[in-house]
Amino acid sequence: MSRAFVKEDDTATAEVERPLVAPHRISPRGLAALRARRAGLTGQEGQEAANERARLDAVIAAAEIVPALTAVPATACFGAVVGVADAEGAEFSVTLVGEHEADPATWHLSCSSPLGRALLGAAIGDIVTWSRPSGRRDLEVVSLSLPETS
Protein backbone atom coordinates (compact mmCIF):
# COMPACT_ATOMS: atom_id res chain seq x y z
CA MET A 1 0.00 0.00 0.00
CA SER A 2 1.25 3.47 -0.85
CA ARG A 3 2.19 5.74 2.09
CA ALA A 4 0.20 8.50 0.39
CA PHE A 5 -3.01 6.98 1.74
CA VAL A 6 -1.90 6.47 5.33
CA LYS A 7 -3.03 9.10 7.83
CA GLU A 8 -0.17 10.06 10.07
CA ASP A 9 -0.29 11.71 13.45
CA ASP A 10 -0.60 15.48 12.90
CA THR A 11 1.64 16.23 15.88
CA ALA A 12 4.53 14.32 14.33
CA THR A 13 5.03 16.99 11.71
CA ALA A 14 3.78 19.99 13.66
CA GLU A 15 5.76 23.15 13.22
CA VAL A 16 8.19 23.83 16.02
CA GLU A 17 7.95 27.42 17.20
CA ARG A 18 11.30 29.06 16.63
CA PRO A 19 12.45 32.40 17.91
CA LEU A 20 12.52 35.20 15.34
CA VAL A 21 16.18 35.80 16.15
CA ALA A 22 18.69 33.20 17.29
CA PRO A 23 20.32 33.77 20.66
CA HIS A 24 23.44 35.84 20.23
CA ARG A 25 26.24 37.18 22.39
CA ILE A 26 26.50 40.91 22.96
CA SER A 27 28.40 43.21 25.30
CA PRO A 28 26.63 45.54 27.72
CA ARG A 29 27.84 48.42 25.54
CA GLY A 30 26.39 46.81 22.41
CA LEU A 31 23.08 46.14 24.13
CA ALA A 32 22.90 49.77 25.24
CA ALA A 33 23.49 50.87 21.63
CA LEU A 34 20.66 48.62 20.39
CA ARG A 35 18.33 49.95 23.07
CA ALA A 36 19.23 53.54 22.13
CA ARG A 37 18.54 52.79 18.46
CA ARG A 38 15.19 51.26 19.47
CA ALA A 39 14.31 54.28 21.63
CA GLY A 40 15.05 56.55 18.68
CA LEU A 41 12.27 54.86 16.72
CA THR A 42 9.62 55.54 19.38
CA GLY A 43 6.88 57.71 17.95
CA GLN A 44 7.90 57.19 14.33
CA GLU A 45 5.06 56.08 12.14
CA GLY A 46 4.99 53.89 9.09
CA GLN A 47 5.54 50.25 8.31
CA GLU A 48 9.31 50.58 7.96
CA ALA A 49 9.66 52.02 11.47
CA ALA A 50 7.28 49.38 12.86
CA ASN A 51 9.29 46.60 11.21
CA GLU A 52 12.57 47.97 12.57
CA ARG A 53 11.10 48.31 16.08
CA ALA A 54 9.92 44.68 15.91
CA ARG A 55 13.32 43.52 14.63
CA LEU A 56 15.20 45.39 17.35
CA ASP A 57 12.81 44.11 20.02
CA ALA A 58 13.50 40.54 18.88
CA VAL A 59 17.27 41.09 18.78
CA ILE A 60 17.27 42.64 22.26
CA ALA A 61 15.09 39.84 23.65
CA ALA A 62 17.45 37.17 22.28
CA ALA A 63 20.61 38.84 23.58
CA GLU A 64 22.97 36.88 25.81
CA ILE A 65 24.95 39.55 27.61
CA VAL A 66 28.66 38.86 27.97
CA PRO A 67 30.12 40.89 30.84
CA ALA A 68 32.88 43.32 29.91
CA LEU A 69 36.41 42.06 30.48
CA THR A 70 37.99 43.33 33.70
CA ALA A 71 41.50 42.03 33.06
CA VAL A 72 43.60 41.48 29.98
CA PRO A 73 42.90 37.92 28.81
CA ALA A 74 45.62 35.34 28.18
CA THR A 75 44.04 34.45 24.83
CA ALA A 76 41.85 36.27 22.32
CA CYS A 77 38.21 36.18 23.39
CA PHE A 78 34.93 38.05 23.11
CA GLY A 79 35.52 41.68 24.07
CA ALA A 80 39.31 41.67 23.70
CA VAL A 81 41.38 43.95 21.51
CA VAL A 82 43.80 41.81 19.53
CA GLY A 83 46.87 43.32 17.87
CA VAL A 84 48.25 41.41 14.90
CA ALA A 85 51.13 41.76 12.45
CA ASP A 86 51.53 40.23 9.01
CA ALA A 87 54.71 38.88 7.40
CA GLU A 88 55.57 42.33 5.99
CA GLY A 89 55.35 43.90 9.47
CA ALA A 90 52.06 45.75 8.93
CA GLU A 91 50.18 45.88 12.24
CA PHE A 92 46.54 46.49 13.07
CA SER A 93 44.18 45.80 15.98
CA VAL A 94 40.68 44.36 16.02
CA THR A 95 38.11 44.26 18.79
CA LEU A 96 36.20 40.97 18.93
CA VAL A 97 32.47 41.63 19.36
CA GLY A 98 29.08 40.07 18.68
CA GLU A 99 27.47 40.10 15.25
CA HIS A 100 25.10 42.98 16.12
CA GLU A 101 28.01 45.15 17.28
CA ALA A 102 30.30 44.50 14.35
CA ASP A 103 31.55 47.54 12.47
CA PRO A 104 34.39 46.67 10.09
CA ALA A 105 35.07 50.36 9.44
CA THR A 106 36.24 50.68 13.07
CA TRP A 107 37.78 47.17 13.22
CA HIS A 108 35.06 45.89 15.54
CA LEU A 109 34.75 42.39 14.08
CA SER A 110 32.28 39.67 14.88
CA CYS A 111 33.70 36.61 16.61
CA SER A 112 31.96 34.62 13.87
CA SER A 113 33.71 36.47 11.04
CA PRO A 114 36.59 34.66 9.30
CA LEU A 115 39.21 36.76 11.10
CA GLY A 116 37.32 36.58 14.40
CA ARG A 117 37.16 32.77 14.21
CA ALA A 118 40.87 32.61 13.38
CA LEU A 119 41.80 34.79 16.37
CA LEU A 120 39.61 33.21 19.05
CA GLY A 121 41.79 31.35 21.54
CA ALA A 122 45.08 32.65 20.14
CA ALA A 123 47.76 33.87 22.56
CA ILE A 124 50.53 36.42 22.03
CA GLY A 125 53.11 34.88 19.68
CA ASP A 126 50.63 32.52 18.00
CA ILE A 127 50.36 32.53 14.21
CA VAL A 128 46.80 32.34 12.88
CA THR A 129 45.63 31.90 9.31
CA TRP A 130 42.98 34.31 8.10
CA SER A 131 41.08 32.72 5.20
CA ARG A 132 39.90 35.49 2.90
CA PRO A 133 38.29 35.45 -0.54
CA SER A 134 41.51 36.96 -1.91
CA GLY A 135 43.62 34.25 -0.28
CA ARG A 136 45.02 33.10 3.02
CA ARG A 137 47.01 35.49 5.17
CA ASP A 138 49.10 34.47 8.17
CA LEU A 139 49.05 36.88 11.10
CA GLU A 140 50.98 36.86 14.36
CA VAL A 141 49.17 37.90 17.53
CA VAL A 142 51.36 40.65 19.00
CA SER A 143 49.16 42.06 21.75
CA LEU A 144 46.02 41.54 23.80
CA SER A 145 44.31 44.37 25.63
CA LEU A 146 41.02 45.71 26.93
CA PRO A 147 38.92 48.03 24.80
CA GLU A 148 38.95 51.70 25.62
CA THR A 149 35.99 52.80 27.69
CA SER A 150 34.06 55.87 26.69
What is the domain partition of the chain in residue ranges?
Answer: 19-65, 81-145
Q: Which fold has domain 81-145?
A: Chitinase A; domain 3 (3.10.50)
What kind and span of H or E run contains 135?
strand 135-145
- Please state the φ and ψ torsions of residue 26, each to the nearest 5 degrees: -155, 150
**pLDDT over threshold 80, residue 42:** yes
Task: Supply the pLDDT for residue 23.
Answer: 85
pLDDT at 97 over 60: yes
Residue 15 φ/ψ, nearest 5 degrees: -65, 135
pLDDT of residue 5: 59
Average pLDDT, the chain: 88
Q: How far is CA 34 from CA 5, 81, 124, in A?
A: 51, 21, 32
Q: Does the model's pTM come out above 0.85?
A: no
pLDDT tier at 22 (50, 70, 90 boundaries)? confident
SS3 78: coil
Q: What percent of the chain has pLDDT over 70?
A: 85
Is pLDDT at 18 greater than 60 in this prediction? no
